[in-house]
């Protein structure tokens, strides 16, 4: 198979390939209608992708009516034409996947981290990549780019982790280090933004002009898509819902007070539960069990967290006006305890028609974080932001 990568060099080629990638199979007639391009422009844009093996034509369908003309031959992405590695870095382990062009997971692996320093993580990640690519000769041959997702302040353009509070990293040129260690081009992105890209292209956000993804768990994150584009902000930290102040206290690790994350993250809930019950060894699992069993003190902890999350979601709805908000993250395991307060607060605080914004609950296996990283690797076909 030719090693040539797709020539995505014009707005027309970007529009055509994106439509087929995210919503195919799709006919040239539908492509013209959706993109506003002429039939000749569609044919010209599609031809290099067909020649390079990234698109193929399905067999022509039946005519819809007598005299309706030549039946359409829909275009579809050849998902196995290229593969992409995606890795999510946590404080405890690495979650890695090999995904195809539609980021369907073909292989996955977990590696526990013995240490959290940069040198160890880079070495362990290189081993994980080698293990994944060894699963098939096709992966070795057709994988050129790796996406890496990290929590915190990430500069995608330079491939730098500017600040990751959970990892304790500052100003780490991670993309460059990983490119040297693996031989792959590397795209680095904040983990929530990477997950948002996956939802935009292959999940709840397909076909939407605007939506928000909010993750609940170790941290409280938010990715925003407005006008079809992922919002990074002038300094790359747009969507930091977790550090929206919704109360006068408690103190947050970011240096602020009353942040959503300081009230509703897993650590914050555990700390509050231990305080109100006087049980210094209480775990999250025990807090959830007690709250579900009707313990009024523990129910109050989750009500408080749900209220804070609800205020955060309301702020997103009021400020941005998205078509929907997708709520996800590992914290969904306790979502039944959050939900009444989230929905009550949202209904009360959302302004006018913003209250009509749909809240979609989306379970999130940890492999989905790595799939998000693979999605930003696929994006490198369009943006060139790979190191």
Locate the domains of the chain by residue range: 11-77, 82-196+367-383, 206-361
Reported confidence tier of residue 63, pLDDT bands at 50, 70, 90:
very low
Q: How many CB atoms lie within 10 A of CB 251?
A: 11
Superfamily holding 206-361: ATPase, nucleotide binding domain (3.30.420.40)
Distances (CA, A) of 358 to 208, 216, 251, 334: 13, 17, 31, 20
Whether 206-361 and 82-196+367-383 are alike in CATH topology: the answer is: yes
CATH of the domain spanning 11-77: 1.10.10.10
- Higher-pLDDT residue of 366 and 88 is 88
Q: How far apart are CA 138 and CA 335, in angstroms?
A: 40
The per-residue b/e assignment along 202-216, b for 16 or more CB within 10 angstroms, e otherwise, is bbbbeeeebbbbbbb
Torsion of CA 21, 24, 27, 32, to 10 degrees: -50
Q: How far apart are CA 333 and CA 379, in angstroms?
A: 31
- In the chain, % of residues over pLDDT 70: 93
What is the per-residue pLDDT for 11? Answer: 86
pLDDT in tens, 141-176: 999 999 999 988 899 999 999 999 889 999 999 999
The residue behind tokens 């967290």 is 305
What is the per-residue pLDDT for 310? Answer: 94
What is the per-residue pLDDT for 61? Answer: 59
**Predicted confidence (pLDDT) at residue 29 exceeds the cutoff of 50:** yes
Q: How far apart are CA 303 and CA 249, in angstroms?
A: 16
φ, ψ (nearest 5 deg) of residue 256: -90, -175
Q: Spelled out in words, what is the top-level CATH class assigned to the domain 82-196+367-383?
A: alpha beta
Do residues 316 and 325 lie in contact, with contact meaning Cβ atoms separated by under 8 Å? yes
Tokens found for residue 14: 């970007």
User: How many CA atoms does the CB half-sphere of 103 hold within 13 Å?
Assistant: 30
Do residues 339 and 306 lie in contact, with contact meaning Cβ atoms separated by under 8 Å? yes
The pTM assigned to this predicted structure is 0.86
Distances (CA, A) of 93 to 103, 113, 121: 21, 5, 9
SS3 of 292, please?
helix
The residue behind tokens 């979502």 is 335
pLDDT in tens, 242-298: 999 999 999 998 889 999 999 999 999 999 999 999 999 999 999 999 999 999 999
What is the per-residue pLDDT for 364? Answer: 79
């Amino acid at each position: 198979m030719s090693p040539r990568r797709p020539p995505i060099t014009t707005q027309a080629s970007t529009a055509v390939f994106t439509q087929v990638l995210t919503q195919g199979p799709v006919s040239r007639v539908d492509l013209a209608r959706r993109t506003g391009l002429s039939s000749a422009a569609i044919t010209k844009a599609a031809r290099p992708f067909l020649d390079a093996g990234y698109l193929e034509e399905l067999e022509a369908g039946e005519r819809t009516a007598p005299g309706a003309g030549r039946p359409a031959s829909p275009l579809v992405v050849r998902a196995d034409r290229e593969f992409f590695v995606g890795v999510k870095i946590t404080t405890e382990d690495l979650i890695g996947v090999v995904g195809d062009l539609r980021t369907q997971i073909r292989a996955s692996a977990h590696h526990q981290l013995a240490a959290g320093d940069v040198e160890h993580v880079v070495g362990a990640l290189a081993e994980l990549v080698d293990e994944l690519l060894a699963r098939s000769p096709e992966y070795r041959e057709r994988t050129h780019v790796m996406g890496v997702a990290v929590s915190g302040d990430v500069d995608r353009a330079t491939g730098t982790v500017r600040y990751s509070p959970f990892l304790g990293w500052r100003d780490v040129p991670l993309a460059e280090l990983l490119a040297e260690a693996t031989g792959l081009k590397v795209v680095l992105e904040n983990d929530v933004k990477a997950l948002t890209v996956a939802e935009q292209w292959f999940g709840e956000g397909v076909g939407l002009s605007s939506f928000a993804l909010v993750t609940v768990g170790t941290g409280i994150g938010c990715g925003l898509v407005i006008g079809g584009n992922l919002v990074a902000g002038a300094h790359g930290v747009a969507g930091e819902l977790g550090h929206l102040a919704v109360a006068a206290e408690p103190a947050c690790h970011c240096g602020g007070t009353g942040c959503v994350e300081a009230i509703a993250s897993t650590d914050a809930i555990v700390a509050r539960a231990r305080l109100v019950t006087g049980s210094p060894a209480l775990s999250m699992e025990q807090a959830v069990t007690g709250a579900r069993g009707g313990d009024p003190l523990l129910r109050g902890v989750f009500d408080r967290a749900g209220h804070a999350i609800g205020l955060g979601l309301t702020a997103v709805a009021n400020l941005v006006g998205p078509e929907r908000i997708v709520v996800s993250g590992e914290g969904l395991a306790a979502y039944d305890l959050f939900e009444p307060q989230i929905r009550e607060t949202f209904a009360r605080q959302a302004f006018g028609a913003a209250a009509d914004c749909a809240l979609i609950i989306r379970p999130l296996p940890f492999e989905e974080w790595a799939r998000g990283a693979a999605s930003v690797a696929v994006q490198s076909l369009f943006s060139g932001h790979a190191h």
